[in-house]
Amino acid sequence: MSGIHDHRKHAATRRDVGRRELLGVGAAVAATVGLAACGTQVWDGGHASGGSAKGSTPGTTGTKSLVRPIGDGSTARTGNQPHQPAAPKPLEAGETPPQFVIFSWDGAGEVGTGLFPRFLELAKQHEAGMTFFLSGLYLLPEAKKRTYLPPNNAPGASDIGYLTDEHVKATLGYVRQAWLDGHEIGTHFNGHFCSGYGTVGNWTPKQWADEIRQAKSFVKEWRTNTGWSDLPSLPFDYDKELVGGRTPCLLGQDNLLPTARELGWRYDASSPGGQQIWPRKKLGVWDLPLQAVPFPGHSFEVLSMDYNMLANQSVNSTKAPAYNYPGWRTQAAQAYIAGFQRAYETNRAPFFIGNHFETWNGGIYMDAVEQAFQHIAAEKEKGADVRLVSFRQFVDWLDVQKPEVLAQLQTLNVGEQPAGGWKTFLKGSAKTPAAASS
């Protein structure tokens, strides 16, 4: 089986709106590269260089340092993660909030189309952080598929394909490089069940706990499951790295959250549709949903994810007639840009964008998200206080803010400018002594 997701099983529905499409779907693609042997016990936690040398494993460049293997050596402690922003600080009285923008990727696997390294390189060029929600099955060889015991489904069942061994190896390399480049590795869980009795929407908190345990095990034990000893360890402790995720098709958050809280997760990005407002916590976990954004040419809005653009443009077909592509590409890019501009020019709510490494409709959605990224990065590079970060880095900032400051920000509606301007809007609340965190 290939690693391409079968989207026929997950038809999105259209509705006026906020006509927000509720489906996020997991698929992953990127570039095939040759794989060379590399030692497993002496590799670094240093910075991976821009591309991978031809014939080498992606994510194997860096400075050597002491590695402390964990378990079977699939992962390792390598010290602090490189390329992190400065420690966040509370907003001062009268200060304007930064404009946070988070690009995230569901699945984060490698099946040979060059997209994983393409966006790693784009992020590196602009010193941006991203979040990669890794599907655990993308590190499990198909020959070991019955190792996976999905809740309410047969052993080894999955609504996404298992990757070839070659693609598992490449996925390992790019996940490794992503972390060394400063990005976050979250989870998209495993089998991506979105319909029928076994759908994740029916899972109990206990079943979510088991699914997460397995997703973590496929990352922490890939060496045992594959038998490969010639690839370097992933340079992080996944028990500590994993602090959030996004569920398949944005289903099941209500029963996931009790488990997420118990596990100490800091955020969840699974809410089925949100607005461009400042986030709140649910059950003590930051709720960071995809957001409805203006959809050029329409009176309704669309969720800020590539698949939801497709669902409105080609009614879930991933191979519509090519004459549509130029207009759809522009429309998708302008939707993301409109969402960014609305937040930046008004309430400064963080802007969340979700994607998959995919080639739907000729790859136009990958081009659109790159165009939007370049537009946003250009604003940052012209001096705007725009911060391209991961979800984890964003909640680091949230967690040092005074609760009363966040409460004041949360009063702003979509597209609402602060009364009297930023110099006065937070002036009183920022001076108030900090209250206990929720």
Runs of H (alpha helix) within 203-323: 205-220, 222-226, 238-241, 253-263, 306-313
Residue 84 Rama label (left phi>0; alpha psi -120 to 50; beta) = beta
Instruction: For residue 303, list its beta bridge partners.
Output: 292
Q: Length of the chain in residues, anyone?
A: 438
* 283 touches 261 (CB < 8 A): yes
What are the phi and psi torsion angles at 5 (to 5°)?
A: -80, 140
Token pair of 381, please?
């590079």
Distance of CA 30 to the CA centre of its chain: 15
Residue-wise pLDDT for 20-46, tens only, equals 333 333 333 222 222 222 323 333 333
Q: Which positions of the chain have pLDDT values less than 50?
A: 1-57, 60-63, 430-438
**What pLDDT does 64 receive?**
53
Q: How far is CA 320 from CA 45, 151, 313, 396, 403, in A?
A: 44, 35, 9, 41, 48
* 174 touches 357 (CB < 8 A): no
Instruction: For residue 234, list its beta bridge partners.
Output: 75
- CA 185 to CA 244: how far, in whole Å? 9
- 386-388 and 99-107: which strand pairing? parallel
**What pLDDT does 13 receive?**
32
Q: How far is CA 277 from CA 129, 246, 289, 327, in A?
A: 21, 19, 10, 29
Q: What amino acid occupies position 320?
A: A
- CA 428 to CA 82: how far, in whole Å? 37
The helix/strand/coil state of 154 is: coil
* 264 touches 243 (CB < 8 A): yes
Please list, in sequence order, all residues whose beta carbon lies within 8 angstroms of the beta carbon of residue 213, skipping any fewer than 6 positions away.
Answer: none
283, exposed or middle or buried, with CB in 10 Å at 0-12, 13-18, 19+? middle
Of residues 29, 20, 114, 113, the one with CA closest to residue 356:
29
Q: How far is CA 242 from CA 73, 134, 191, 215, 391, in A?
A: 18, 10, 18, 10, 11
* 217 touches 99 (CB < 8 A): no
